[in-house]
Amino acid sequence: MRTVHKTCNLCEAMCGLLIEVAGSGEGLEIGRIRGDPDDPLSRGAICAKAIALREIQEDPDRLRTPVRRTATGFEPISWDEALEETSRRLAEIQQRDGDDAVGSYLGNPGAHGFGIVMYLTGLYSALSTRNKYAASSLDQNPKHASSLLLYGNFLSIPIPDIDRSDYLLILGANPVVSNGSLMSAPGMRRRLRELRARGGRLVVVDPRRCETAALADEHLFIRPGADALFLSALLHAVFQEKSLASDAPHRRVEGLRELEAALAPLSPEAVEAELGISALILRRLAREFAAAPSAVCYGRVGTCQNRFGTLNSVLIDVLNIATGNFDRSGGAMFPRPAIDLAAIARLRGSVGTMGEWRTRVRGAPAFNGEQPAACLAEEILTPGEGQIRGMITVAGNPCLSAPNQAALDEAFASLEFYAAVDFYINETTRHADIILPPTWSLEHDNYEVLFHGFAVHNTAKYSPVVVPPDETQRHDWEILSQLALRIAEHKQSSGWKRYCLRAVRRMGWVPEPRRFLDWLLRLGPYGDGFRPWRSGLRLRDLEANPSGIDLGPLAPRIEEVLASPSAKIDVAPPIVLEELDRLRAELTRAQSAAIQRDPSGVDELVLIGRRDVRTNNSWLHNVPMAVKGKERCTLQMHSHDATRRNLSAGERVQIRSRVGKVEAPLEITDDLMQGVVSLPHGWGHTGTGMRLGVAERHPGVNANVLTDDLVLEPVVGNAVLNGVPVEVSACGGGGIAQESPSRLR
Ligand SMILES: Nc1nc2c(c(=O)[nH]1)N[C@H]1C(S)=C(S)[C@@H](COP(=O)(O)OP(=O)(O)OC[C@H]3O[C@@H](n4cnc5c(=O)[nH]c(N)nc54)[C@H](O)[C@@H]3O)O[C@H]1N2
Ligand SMILES: Nc1nc2c(c(=O)[nH]1)N[C@H]1C(S)=C(S)[C@@H](COP(=O)(O)OP(=O)(O)OC[C@H]3O[C@@H](n4cnc5c(=O)[nH]c(N)nc54)[C@H](O)[C@@H]3O)O[C@H]1N2
Ligand code: SF4
Ligand SMILES: [Mo]
């Protein structure tokens, strides 16, 4: 029996694990998985999902070798055949119809693997397509946009210094369940308890009294989508009561006056009726926040998957800036990771781009070289120059995760050629012509190259292999670099990037992750910079400290981070002022509609999502751990809303939106605000031709049958996955659980 140190790669928390392993080769067995008390970031924290690492490893449905789709199902093929056919077919489509005729989609687990984050660029260069998509446009792009606008670099995201803060104001995040996002902070429950134990205050603003709200000093219900009004009113109060604003927020900050002027019509008194939170409460919150020795406002997916995602993200940062809670302990701070991707992006001149072009069909904005995932279906289905005819997905399940499943299903089924780099045959990959399965986390080494940059404490840790793969398996980095090299070879077109790829192919050598990692560590802020006379952090140091190395608490570093051309933080760039205009116009419209509205006739419902501690987006339901226990894919509704509709607990109800309808069991709970219903995402494992034995026995329904691909946040084109108008009624028994018969355009 031996113990291997590993970092859990399932969510952003990066919990350090101790995994017991016995035997070797075919007889290797994985034993207990525990939290590592010596991990300097997680200090022994762990959640129920950690055992999924073993269950995925042992899952008989997980693919180990490539497969090709035939009329009678998937059949195994060799790696050489799979790589060659995939690259040839994709290259042929591009040679014939142009580069944009092949699209790519990168999913969430891609962000956790060194072998994907660092090796995907090659594939992107080989493809050079505008039809690049990722889960980022279902998730955090508004945060990237805010950082690009304020600090000049999409990757420089200030993180709540939660371990030293005296006041935490959370909007649209449930870190007790999600374990934090753009705030890697394992053991969230303990950290929040510690905050309160040192006299700190926790306030949560959420349409649902979520698990984090249940631990808070105060919870305020907010209508989905109303955060921009809430944040504007708070900032208005801070600007108005001069004593609340910090005397010197930061000498680098400019535009405060312009922003104050733009916020003038959005006082607490002006928005209270529409917001449903009284001006008295708003002013009290502003005072408490400003008076706390240190305070930080934090918003996540609830504020991003939202019609005002970018504005929300900017206002959150500006609230921290204006009250002097920025780049200082206990406020919002920039981590200093051992591999600083933000600094690398700056060196490469790729700090992010905004609205650099518009999508072909709808004219939605591109962001950072990617198009909105909500536009993917129409870019596949709409004929004309630039139509997507071939696709490659990497670690993604867009048919289940992006809005309007019916449209996406139709789109993926219509492709001329589609390849997936994935180890499950699921709702999306079932459409693939070829699936190239990588090794699972326990079979390869890893370094969380992205998330150390978003962590609440600076640490570095290397995760070694736990279960050696057999020689028939391939890693993500091998598959991605092989595809890149072969596509470049097949295309034979000009362009220096493809020329380089062809040169690498002829050389026959791609640096493996270990070597690459060592170089990046040496070039990083703690490294020796390859200067022989200096000492510095190297891979061998990480290997000698298997629980990880503590690099210290977050420290002020805005001077080093700031990358805006003016070397200032402009809090009132034109886009923000335009978004505030849009907010004011909406407020005026809503106010005049409210005067005409008959209060007894108000019976609208809007849908929001929900995460569960035992699942992770759409792909963890094939492990027994995630699906055991009571049914969790239920529609939650307030008791008054249920009574008005004559609905009772446990009954199956039908939920309809503009794009589709689903049926789910009803759960009545007054933890939701009236007028809001909640259905978790990631369920709905009902397609034909999948290989998900466990998940298909616990299918649930897909919330994204209901979410609307036509509703976008206008600045970055993020999907609006919360606040979807729906109708809920009793269903007459029988029937099918999930239906979206047409695209209903
Ligand atoms: N309604 C609604 N929809 C949502 C959300 C919501 O809140 N509400 N949340 C959105 C958010 S925040 C996100 S991030 C997206 C997620 O959306 P996606 O990233 O598209 O979907 P996932 O469920 O993460 O699927 C991950 C896929 O990666 C595969 N995979 C896992 N590990 C690896 C690996 O190491 N290598 C490779 N190659 N493949 C791997 C899995 O088998 C699975 O097919 O969903 C979004 N969709
Ligand atoms: N257990 C588990 N952990 C996960 C995941 C998972 O699926 N399961 N997914 C991972 C991923 S990909 C991500 S991106 C992170 C996300 O991590 P979080 O951002 O913490 O996401 P959620 O837990 O969905 O919390 C969002 C909260 O926003 C609320 N909300 C919805 N609409 C609005 C609104 O308009 N305004 C406000 N103020 N609140 C609103 C919801 O009620 C919910 O409580 O979690 C990660 N961790
Ligand atoms: S919170 Fe759970 S899923 Fe997330 S890293 Fe820790 S053990 Fe893994
Ligand atoms: Mo996400």
Is any ligand 1 atom within 6 A of the Cβ of residue 393?
Answer: no
DSSP letter at 397?
-
pLDDT at 495: 77
Residue 389: name the closest of 402, 379, 375 by CA: 379
pLDDT at 249: 61
Q: pLDDT band at 593, cuts 50/70/90?
A: confident
Q: State mean pLDDT over 21-31.
A: 93
Which of 117, 138, 480, 707 best tests ligand 1's pocket when mutated (most atoms within 8 Å of CB)?
138
Q: Does 241 score more than 60 pLDDT?
A: yes
Q: Which ligand is nearest to the CA of 448?
A: 3
183 CA distance to ligand 4 middle (Å)? 12
Q: Which atom of ligand 1 is nearest to the CA of 393?
A: 38
Q: Which ligand is nearest to the CA of 618?
A: 1
Residue range 643-661, pLDDT digits in tens: 999 999 999 999 999 999 9
484 CA distance to ligand 1 middle (Å)? 23
Q: State mean pLDDT over 519-534.
A: 96
Beta pairing class for 201-205 and 218-220: parallel
Helix, strand, coil shares, percent, the chain, to 5: 35, 20, 45
Residue range 335-388, pLDDT digits in tens: 999 999 999 999 999 999 999 999 999 999 999 999 999 999 999 999 999 999
**Atom 6, ligand 3: residue with shortest CA distance:** 15
pLDDT at 744: 37
Q: State mean pLDDT over 589-598.
A: 78
Contact 86, 415 (CB under 8 A): no
206 CA distance to ligand 2 middle (Å)? 10
Q: pLDDT band at 303, cuts 50/70/90?
A: very high
Report the distance separating Cα 482 and Cα 473, nearest Å: 14
Q: pLDDT band at 735, cuts 50/70/90?
A: very low
pLDDT at 251: 80
**Atom 1, ligand 3: residue with shortest CA distance:** 47
Least confident of 504-508, 521-525, 614-618: 504-508
Strand order in the sheet with 201-205: 218-220, 201-205, 167-171, 296-299
Residue 55: name the closest of 388, 441, 373 by CA: 441
**Atom 31, ligand 2: residue with shortest CA distance:** 302
Which tokens in the block code for residue 605? 């419902």
pTM for this predicted structure: 0.97
> If you count DSSP H runs as helices and E runs as strands, how many of each does the chain have, helices first?
26, 29
Strands (E), 316-360: 332-333, 354-358
Residue range 429-460, pLDDT digits in tens: 999 999 999 999 999 999 999 999 999 999 99
Q: pLDDT band at 599, cuts 50/70/90?
A: low
pLDDT at 745: 38
Which tokens in the block code for residue 120? 């995907």
